[in-house]
Structure 1
């Protein structure tokens, strides 16, 4: 069963006189997308990184978790006669789940792990403002600002590789503090792994609210200061989209 349909995928009509290709096995004898894994296994290359790439590709194809695991096991059994190791399975499924979650986040207004607004929802809110007017209008983008804060990294358990749940819970707690400082109709959204963005009106109260937010976050993270800043919104919707992408990657 496919998780989501792939844009542009088409199924060829069957020729009554010709047997069609097997859906999960390629000419190499390995399941679809796992040819690179087979090459890494036989050449002694780093198979963990290859499995991560394959996990991403299978998620984009719409493969279910069952299909993904079955393909990995079939590949290992075919080439080694044994089952794959825990580290290999973890690399594959982590990449598959993150890619699938990213796709689902594009369809949802809410980030499922933190309860904050999704980046896609924040992007749509910005697009609405740009449609209302440019930088010279109070009702359009000119009357709003993006407050961004970044959780400290490097010495927190949530920074351990693969600890996505702990990191998400940390962002969720920080998001609740943001809603305390910005308690009106602001959009509080997750931006990447360590950042949260708040789309709020640019008025005479903005500076005070930012100071309150910095104080609240400082109390929650007493050992390391939390970066909080006001990000100016660019003049065009297209550049605003690039800004959000850049903030999410940081």
Structure 2
């Protein structure tokens, strides 16, 4: 065990001090420190190549050697997991409304078919329009705000729904359980929606996954 010198600390890249201290102390937690650094760097938008180069700079400064496999592996895995998590979030939810994307709704429905549970679910579809403008589309900002509020309301009514997503400019779908509460929940959603111009109805899921994809595409085109 040894202390890092001032010269060594001055050579360290940003976010690698904990890794350097673990290396200097010959700690068994070097890999864990590399994992934390990799995750942190990915969240800050630092590339994997730059992160690995900074790791090499750190091990050279502290122990005059290149990184060990376990150190590279820990940093790389953490960086990849953080990046994939971020990309997954982007692909699953619309950043303006917070509603699931069409692709995410499609995947949730496919899972129901794979698990032979599609027959026990249905789509609750809502067309959102401003009062005095039935059948018309909202402008982008008004639509995003309206859809976000609708999504919050739908989640409160259909707690535990497989998905609450946006499938068009002004259309929302809830992949809800087809049980004895479905009609009651639908009525409650209608009462909670403040604009009378909204139209809400139930679409049954078809017999197979392919037909369900066609149905979603039709709903998206008609929105």
Q: Same fold (TM over 0.5)?
A: yes
For 2:97, the equivalent position in structure 1 comes to 114
Counterparts of residues 1-250 of structure 1 (less than 5 Å): 108-133=91-116, 140-152=117-129, 155=132, 159=137, 163-217=139-193, 220-221=194-195, 224-250=196-222
Q: CA deviation at 1:107?
A: 6.4
Give the Cα separation in 2 of the matches to 1:159 and 1:229: 18
TM-score normalized by the length of structure 1? 0.50
Give, in whole Å, the separation in 2 of the partners of 1:105 and 1:164. Answer: 24
Within 2, Cα distance between the matches of 1:208 and 1:141?
A: 20
> Deviating runs (4+, > 6 A) in structure 1?
104-107
Which has the larger Rg?
A: 2
Instruction: Return the offset for 1:185.
Output: 3.9
RMSD (Å), alpha carbons: 2.4
Deviation at 1:152, TM superposition (A): 2.3
Number of aligned pairs?
134
Q: What is the CA deviation profile of residues 194-230 of structure 1, one whole-angstrom value per residue up to 9, with x for unaligned ones? A: 110000111001110000001111xx21xx3321111
Which one scores higher on RCO, CA 8 angstroms, separation ≥ 6? 2
CA 170–183 in structure 1, closer or farther in 2 if over 3 Å, else same: same
TM norm structure 2: 0.55
**How many Å separate the matches in 2 of 1:227 and 1:189?**
16
> What 5-or-longer segments of structure 2 have no aligned partner?
1-86
After superposition, give the CA deviation of every residue in 1:102-131 in whole Å (9 maximum; x if it has no partner).
xx9996010111001111111000111111
Deviations 1:62-98 (A, max 9, x none): xxxxxxxxxxxxxxxxxxxxxxxxxxxxxxxxxxxxx
For residue 24 of structure 2, what is the aligned residue in structure 1? Answer: none
Q: 1:249 to 1:229 in 2, by over 3 A?
A: same
Structure 1 gap segments, 5+ residues each:
1-103, 134-139
Partners in 2 of 1:242 and 1:151 — Cα distance? 22
**CA shift at 1:186, angstroms?**
3.6
